[in-house]
Amino acid sequence: MVEAIQDMSNAQIEHSVIINNFVRSVGKALKDSICRVFGEGIQFQWEEAGEKRYTPDAFIICSFKRRTNTTLHEVPRMILEVLSPGTETYDRNEKLNAYNKAGVGEVWLLDWRKRKIEIYVCDDDGSGQATKPFLYQTVTDENKEELKIVNFPITKVDFDEVMDLGVLF
Higher pLDDT, residue 4 or 134: 134
pTM of the complete model: 0.84
- Angle at CA 109, nearest 5°, toward 82 and 13? 10
Amino acid identity of residue 119, one-letter, is I
Per-residue pLDDT tens over the stretch 78-135? 999 999 988 899 999 999 988 988 889 999 999 999 999 999 998 755 555 557 888 9
Higher pLDDT, residue 150 or 71: 150
> What is the rounded CA–CA span in Å between residue 71 and residue 91?
19
3-state class of 36 per DSSP?
A: strand
The residue extents of the domains of the chain are: 2-168
What pLDDT score was predicted for residue 40? 73
3-state class of 5 per DSSP?
A: helix
Nearest to 16 by CA among 43, 41, 36, 37: 41
What is the dotted CATH code of the domain comprising 2-168?
A: 3.90.1570.10
> What percent of the chain has a predicted confidence (pLDDT) above 90?
42
